Chains A and B, each alone.
Chain A
Amino acid sequence: MPESPSSVTEVRDGLGEVGYLADESAALVSFLAQRLGKPILVEGPAGVGKTELAKALSRSTGRDLIRLQCYEGLDEAKALYEWNYRKQLLRIQAETADEAEAGWAGARGDIFSEEFLLTRPLLEAISSPEPVVLLIDEIDKTDQEFEAMLLEVLSDFQISIPELGRIEAKTHPLVLLTSNNSRELTEALKRRCLYLWLDYPEIERELQIVRLHTPELDETLARRLVEIVQMVRQLDLKKPPSIAESIDWARTLLLIGAEDIDRKTFEDSMSIIVKHRSDIDLVSERVTVKLSAGSEEGVTGLPGAGA
């Protein structure tokens, strides 16, 4: 077994070193998952760092990241393994031409060997000689049948291939499943997992994240940006801005060399944090008016504006 972390702090610091600022629960659940060898089911609004958590865990543990992006209609062939049909065909053609006498029997044995196997993410994660991080992203997009198959793989850590026999895991992957809650997952799957709810970060942590991604951005400006984003999130929007959008916005401000977020800067760049037409209207109506008209006056009406 690979060395597992000895404390929550160790995990949090490790994630921090690779650029992921985990909150209390993310660090604890990541720690538990490694100690107990259980998968993590991560849910939360879009763009709060679900996928990034898996990537960061891979970086901090030095394990490879294997990612299975789910989509509607994803099947075993794309998730587990598939025979390389084209290659098999070529081999058969080549053989029958060259050594016609060898016949079918020989060819059959040959073409169902590992050489012709296309390993897909699940098989790859199971058969890897080094332990990996396996990210199964947006599991809610698949159907229950797929979930059942997955559950089997995750409980037995083995996959049997009729033509080849059973492939047993040499190491246990650290598994993260993310879901955007588009459907209810089965009880059985949930039961096997530790549950992590990731939410929008509170202000100080978001500020740290933004500063981490855009260290060149002036601190006061970064704080103002995060304050505005947090304010926008409290409106009733179709799609509230996520951490990803805060970061994008910070980058943009840096790019256009903004010194303050006054009304004009905001109007020019707000489409980065709000996308829907109706959201933009609402934000204009409720937030833009709180910003000062010109940069000389400073921002009024914002929380902590003077502080």
Chain B
Amino acid sequence: MNERSGTAASLLSFFEELRSEGVAVGTSEILDCFEALDEVVWTDPRDFREAVAATVAKSQEDRRIFELLFDRHFFRAAEAEALEQGISEQRFDGGNRLDLDQLREAVRQAITAGNDGEMRDLARLAISAFGRRGERSGVIGVDVQRIRRNLGLQGGRGDGAGGADLDRAAVREFEQHLRRELERATIERTGKLPPSRPLAELDRALPTSPAQDLATVHRAVAQLKRRIATLGHEVRGRQRSPVVDIRRTMRASLETGGVPLRLKHRPRRPRRPEIYVLCDVSTSVSSASVFFLSVLHALHDSFRKLRSFVFIERISEVTDVFEHERDFRKIAERISSEGGVADVSGYTDYGRVWLEFGDEIAEDLGPRSTVIVLGDARTNGREPHAAEFGRIAEHAGRTFWLNPEPKLYWNYGDSVMSAYEPYCDGAFECWTTKHLENFVNVIASGARGASAN
């Protein structure tokens, strides 16, 4: 087959994929793209990629999706071709020449220097080294995290630790190599391509278009409302108020000759459940944020006594925004523009958020308060201040944590989920509406302390 027409066909299906992820690739973009490709050498992968990008991806967001899809698409295409022709690339077999420390150092150097070719070779080395130690789980995402941890690559984690001061983006690039090489290895082993999965599933984790899932979220939250309300009842029925009603006790004692045999308790004052939701809206959860904001939106619909907060580096109350604005888009806009956390490019500082919340809000909490945290517990290497979080949880009746990352990723990299989990009445992975429903079910069955799933 003519190589060019092969590539052209592959490009067209790539555009299809871009469209399905919401990038508006129209006819004029496609024409421009082919016109641009006439000007560059197709076999230069860099020029090829940039020419396509410049003509079809016309915003930062489009560009991000482009980057995510491009490699995957053309990598798969190349692999398919190789399979067809029975070519299997010579495996890199330098694995035994390096010991682990050397490997670590070499990887760090390659990352610091941003040397692409070297990173690729080292990724292969690392994979074969860990493969031999029998640490492969078979799930690519998990293996990437394991290898990364074994190499001590904690991108951005502060002071002195193994991965100190490596550039996050560069570490991510290395991860990309790991991912690709693992994929390649799998393909070679099984002799077929893994099924292509839509981006939305993991790389973007959560629906970025709120409308599509808003209805489901609302349904799950409405359920949650009923559950939380009845849960309150059960507590009321089972437990006695600790406050003794002196008058009623005295009156009852008359029957026993003035000896107060039966203590009468003052009835608990039925109070509305109060919910405090703290929602991370930083970029590390940016696709999740939309999902979380829609959860918040739905919660506000169902609960009157709800206070909501968003945070990145600092925390900011947004209850008002939800109370005065019905339209989801507008809410999202207002929160990013005036939430007090406006620099959405930020990294989260959980520790600082707890300190601020502890100082300003925690005293409003009481036994009827439920605190729900929506966040990935990725501290960017900053002090987690877990004890402060503990103090907040102590003030509240119940504390739940919903994490937008698959549980497998918790505590990898800069995730410090395990520091917070002990203080929670439940910690749940929550990156689909199914998970949200699961959360509702678990807390509905009253599983206090039954640490999630």
Contact = CB atoms under 8 A, between A and B. Distances in A.
B36 A32 contact: yes
B160 A301 contact: yes
A302 interface: yes
Interface in A4-29: 8, 24-25, 28-29
Contact of A28 (B29, B51, B59): B51
A187 B24 contact: yes
B168 A234 contact: yes
A283 to B, nearest CB: 13
B71 interface: no
A194 B343 contact: no
B167 A230 contact: yes
B46 interface: yes
Contact of A25 (B54, B59, B158): B54
A286 B50 contact: no
Contacts of A234: 156, 167-168
Chain A interface size band reads 35 or more
Given A193-B58, A301-B160, A36 B39 contact: yes
B40 A8 contact: yes
Interface stretch (A67-75, A87-95, A195-203, A255-263): A195-203
B319 interface: no
Given A43-B60, A191-B29, A303-B112, A28 B168 contact: no
Nearest to A238: B343
B58 A36 contact: no
A184 B329 CA distance: 15
B213 to A, nearest CB: 24
Given A32-B39, A234-B167, A41 B58 contact: yes
A219 to B, nearest CB: 16
A304 interface: yes
Chain B interface size band reads 35 or more
Nearest to A43: B60
B313 A236 contact: yes
Nearest to A290: B159
Contacts of A290: 159
A35 interface: yes
Contacts of B156: 234
20 contacts: A28-B51, A28-B54, A31-B39, A31-B40, A32-B39, A35-B39, A36-B39, A190-B58, A191-B29, A193-B58, A202-B114, A202-B167, A203-B112, A203-B167, A236-B312, A236-B347, A236-B380, A238-B343, A301-B159, A304-B112
Interface of A: 8, 24-25, 28-29, 31-32, 35-36, 38, 41, 43, 181, 184, 187, 190-191, 193-197, 202-204, 230-231, 234-238, 286, 290, 301-304
Given A197-B60, A236-B313, 16 more contacts: A8-B40, A24-B46, A25-B53, A28-B46, A32-B36, A36-B32, A187-B24, A195-B57, A195-B58, A204-B113, A204-B114, A231-B165, A235-B347, A236-B312, A303-B164, A304-B112
